[in-house]
């Protein structure tokens, strides 16, 4: 087991270096085999693991980590000078100062630095499988990018490096290690966002850098307070062991802030929205399996300590607000990728909220959302890339001919959107359980519970409106072409899409089984109480939460199947008519509706800042 976990750390790093030097012809088999290997290992680990694996590294690694931290921060400082960005420079200086101070006051490490529990293994699954698929897809995508051959290799190399760092992030127990890997994900995203090297890319990559550096700063502060409060070494285990101690709220709040920034919650949503300038596989990577998923991961990790604290309440209120605000913000978007980005922010808010509530059912809901969002979003983003490269479409309003020119892609995107929206797909179940379980919250914190329920349900309605707006464009066609010919997009694109589609359908069909066998143990290991799942009559009971199973199953037959069938069904022996144009001959250009909600964005940002201030204040008192 230990050697397999170490494999997940070492192999991607090794491959990452190898990819820089091997020729293109070798890169392809290398990437594919590595992706398969990592996926197989993560599945094997998840199925066969028992208990928690603690393991340490030799003492000299501590020094390497410290030196790597310093080098990294100096590198950030160098970027600040090179790009003349005072804010990156300021952040780097503050971090460097904080780090040196901490290294000075902290005693030498004795305990184990890494810990892989059920949650880590669950995250391995998501990171390795989804990122592996994205890496394979990138082989083709990057081929069509206009850049030098070395930069193409460098792009693939960075992806594997990202995978390695993510695997390390979710399994480090020591917060100093965690800080290094956290900063390394920041670095990886900085490099990937700035990959195209044009003016916008550079600007947005710097935004991503300084915003995430604030998160790093928060982690350093958390380490300081853990040390200062005398909980022993700065590790997650020690922090959770002192969950009831005095003053524990401050380090918790600081780590939560780091999480919220990584999760692009308002007012820090700008970095994720700006990340759209990068090549599409990067967006897929950032949104589905890496980077932003650190946010729910941290909150899930901290949830036993956070539960029922004022800090958790502020996080719940903040994420409830972000959920609605991001959904409203999405209504004014036309760029397909930006629509997806807004929906990511909204769904992340939901995951973080569920993790912060911290009951077994909400934890399960959070896990379900993390997994299914990963699958659906990577599928959507990869197809957004196909739209760009094969069909040359970027704006969603231009997609109204896709139903005829690219029926397969439009079908896949439709399924992707439905999987975020409709029963019985995972995200729907997740959302559903969120609303239902917030009822439990509402019994003792009535006003907060009621407000959050309205926010979740209302934001959900706005989001569904948005998804249907896009689906409406995808389904559009004239009456002239009745035959459907699936287009060819090339083996890499088609294979990755089929795999994700298969993964999505397989997980949906096996959801009741997965819930019992795989989600419940993770929840159990986090909360310490096992989640009981029982079926009774029409309903399936998760703890005390009731899911009306039969209506949902019928709804499944009715809705997604209807929409998919509508693309194929043909009525025979019916005459065709032209659309009614009021006798006019006009060339009407079709597009979708917008709401100019942009005006509200500054208010959203201000409200977000107020929430962050409140987070600190409640932790202090």
Partner 1 sequence: MNNLWIPIILIILAPLLGGLVYGFERIIKARMQRRIGPPLLQPFYDFLKLADKRKMIVHSAHAFLGIMHFVSLWFALAVLLLGSDLILVIFLHLLSTALLILAAYSTRSIFSHLGANRIAISILAYEPVLIIIAVSIFMLTGSFDATAAFQSEQPLLYKMPLAFIALLLVLPIKLKKSPFDVAEAHQELTGGVELEFSGIFYEAVYTAKWLDYVFCYTLVYLFAGNNILLGAGLIIFTFFYLNALDNSTARVSYKQMLRFSLTVSFSLAFINLLINSLT
The binding site for partner 1 (CB under 8 A) comprises 403, 422, 432, 435-436, 439, 442-443, 446-447, 449-450, 453-454, 457-458, 460-462, 464-465, 468-469, 471-473, 475-479, 482, 538, 546, 548, 551-552, 554-555, 558-559, 562-563, 565-567, 569-571, 573-582, 586, 588, 590, 592-593
Smallest gap from residue 574 Cβ to partner 1 (A): 5
Smallest gap from residue 554 Cβ to partner 1 (A): 7
Give dist(CA 485, CA 405) in Å, integer: 9
Residue indicated by tokens 């089929």: 498
DSSP one-letter code for 51: S
How many other β-carbons are positioned within 10 Å of the β-carbon of residue 105? 9
Give dist(CA 584, CA 587) in Å, integer: 9
Nearer to partner 1, 166 or 393 (CB): 393
Nearer to partner 1, 413 or 473 (CB): 473
Nearer to partner 1, 80 or 347 (CB): 347
Count of CA atoms in the C-beta half-sphere (13 A) of 555? 13
The angle at the Cα of 419, spanning 350 to 293, to the nearest 5 degrees, equals 40
User: Dihedral sign, CA of 132, 137, 138, 143?
Assistant: positive
Nearer to partner 1, 472 or 602 (CB): 472
Nearest to 349 by CA among 371, 377, 369, 375: 369
Nearer to partner 1, 25 or 587 (CB): 587
Report the run of H or E that residue 144 belongs to, with start and end: none
Nearer to partner 1, 168 or 324 (CB): 324
Smallest gap from residue 430 Cβ to partner 1 (A): 14
How many other β-carbons are positioned within 10 Å of the β-carbon of residue 123? 31
Smallest gap from residue 344 Cβ to partner 1 (A): 21
Backbone phi, psi, residue 541, to 5°: -105, 130
Nearer to partner 1, 197 or 446 (CB): 446
Nearest to 463 by CA among 335, 324, 337, 321: 324
Nearer to partner 1, 110 or 576 (CB): 576
Smallest gap from residue 205 Cβ to partner 1 (A): 36
Structure tokens at 540: 């399936």
Nearer to partner 1, 108 or 586 (CB): 586
Residue indicated by tokens 């928690």: 52
Nearer to partner 1, 216 or 416 (CB): 416
Cα distances (angstroms) measured from residue 471 to each of 402, 429, 501: 11, 21, 17
Q: Are the beta carbons of 166 and 128 closer than 8 angstroms?
A: no
Nearer to partner 1, 316 or 522 (CB): 316
Q: Are the beta carbons of 139 and 156 closer than 8 angstroms?
A: yes
Smallest gap from residue 461 Cβ to partner 1 (A): 5
Q: What is the DSSP code string of 437-497?
A: HHHHHHHHSHHHHHHHHHHHHHHHHHHHHHHHHHHHHHH---SS-----PPP--HHHHHHH
Smallest gap from residue 428 Cβ to partner 1 (A): 9
Structure tokens at 499: 């795999």
Smallest gap from residue 74 Cβ to partner 1 (A): 51
Nearest to 283 by CA among 383, 215, 370: 383
Smallest gap from residue 401 Cβ to partner 1 (A): 10
Q: Exposed/middle/buried for 212, CB within 10 Å: 0-12, 13-18, 19+?
A: buried
Smallest gap from residue 605 Cβ to partner 1 (A): 22
| Three-class DSSP category at 210 | helix
Smallest gap from residue 465 Cβ to partner 1 (A): 6
Structure tokens at 14: 């090794």
Smallest gap from residue 439 Cβ to partner 1 (A): 6
Nearer to partner 1, 295 or 462 (CB): 462
Nearer to partner 1, 90 or 555 (CB): 555
How many other β-carbons are positioned within 10 Å of the β-carbon of residue 410? 26
Smallest gap from residue 484 Cβ to partner 1 (A): 11
Count of CA atoms in the C-beta half-sphere (13 A) of 454? 6
């Amino acid at each position: 087991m230990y050697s397999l976990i170490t494999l997940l750390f070492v192999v991607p790093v090794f491959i990452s270096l190898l990819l820089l030097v091997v020729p293109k012809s070798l890169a392809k088999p290398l990437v594919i085999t590595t992706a398969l290997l990592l996926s197989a290992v993560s599945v094997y680990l998840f199925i066969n693991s028992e208990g928690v694996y603690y393991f340490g590294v030799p003492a000299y690694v501590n020094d390497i980590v410290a030196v790597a931290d310093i080098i990294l921060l100096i590198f950030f400082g160098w970027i600040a000078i090179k790009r003349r960005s005072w804010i990156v420079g300021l952040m780097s200086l503050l971090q460097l100062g904080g780090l040196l101070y901490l290294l000075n006051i902290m005693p030498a490490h004795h305990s184990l630095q890494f810990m892989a529990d059920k949650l880590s293994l669950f995250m391995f699954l998501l990171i390795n499988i989804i990122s592996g698929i994205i890496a394979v897809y990138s082989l083709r995508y990057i081929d069509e990018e206009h850049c030098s051959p070395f930069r193409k290799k460098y792009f693939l190399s960075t992806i594997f490096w990202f995978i390695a760092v993510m695997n390390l992030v979710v399994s480090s127990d020591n917060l100093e290690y965690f800080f290094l890997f956290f900063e390394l994900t920041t670095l990886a995203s900085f490099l990937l966002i700035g990959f195209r090297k044009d003016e916008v890319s550079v600007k947005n990559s710097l935004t991503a850098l300084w915003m995430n550096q604030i998160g790093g700063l928060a982690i350093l502060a958390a380490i300081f307070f853990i040390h200062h409060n005398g909980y022993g070494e700065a590790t997650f285990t020690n922090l959770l062991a002192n969950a009831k101690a005095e003053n524990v709220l401050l380090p918790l709040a600081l780590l939560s802030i780091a999480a919220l920034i990584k999760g692009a919650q308002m007012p820090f949503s700008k970095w994720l929205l700006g990340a759209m300038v990068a090549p599409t596989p990067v967006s897929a990577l950032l949104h589905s399996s890496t980077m932003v998923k650190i946010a729910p991961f941290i909150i899930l990790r901290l949830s036993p300590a956070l539960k029922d604290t004022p800090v958790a309440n502020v996080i719940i209120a903040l994420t409830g607000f972000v959920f609605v605000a991001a959904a409203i913000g999405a209504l004014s978007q036309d760029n397909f990728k930006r629509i997806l980005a807004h929906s990511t922010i909204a769904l992340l808010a939901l995951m973080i909220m569920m993790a912060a509530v911290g009951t077994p059912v909400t934890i399960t809901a959070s896990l379900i959302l993390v997994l299914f969002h990963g699958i659906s979003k990577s599928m959507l983003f990869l197809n957004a890339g196909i739209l760009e490269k094969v069909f040359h479409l970027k704006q969603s309003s231009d997609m109204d001919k896709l139903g005829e020119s690219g029926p397969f892609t439009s079908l896949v995107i439709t399924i992707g959107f439905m999987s975020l929206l409709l029963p019985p797909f995972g995200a729907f179940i997740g959302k559903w359980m969120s609303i239902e379980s917030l009822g439990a919250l509402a019994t003792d914190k009535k006003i907060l519970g009621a407000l959050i329920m309205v926010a979740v349900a209302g934001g959900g309605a706005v989001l569904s409106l948005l998804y249907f707006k896009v689906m409406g464009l995808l389904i559009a066609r004239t009456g002239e072409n009745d035959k459907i010919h699936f287009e060819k997009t090339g083996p890499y694109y088609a294979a990755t899409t089929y795999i994700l589609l298969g993964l999505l359908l397989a997980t949906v069909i096996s959801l009741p089984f997965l819930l019992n066998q795989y989600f419940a143990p993770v929840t159990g290991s986090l909360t310490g109480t096992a989640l009981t799942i029982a079926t009774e009559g029409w309903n399936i009971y998760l703890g005390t939460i009731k899911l009306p199973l039969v209506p949902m199953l019928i709804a499944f037959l009715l809705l997604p199947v209807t929409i998919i069938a509508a693309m194929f069904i043909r009525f025979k022996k019916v005459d065709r008519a032209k659309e009614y144009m009021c006798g006019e001959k006009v060339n009407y250009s079709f597009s979708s509706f917008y709401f100019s909600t942009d005006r509200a964005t500054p208010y959203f940002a201000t409200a977000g800042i107020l929430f962050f201030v409140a987070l600190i204040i409640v932790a202090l008192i």
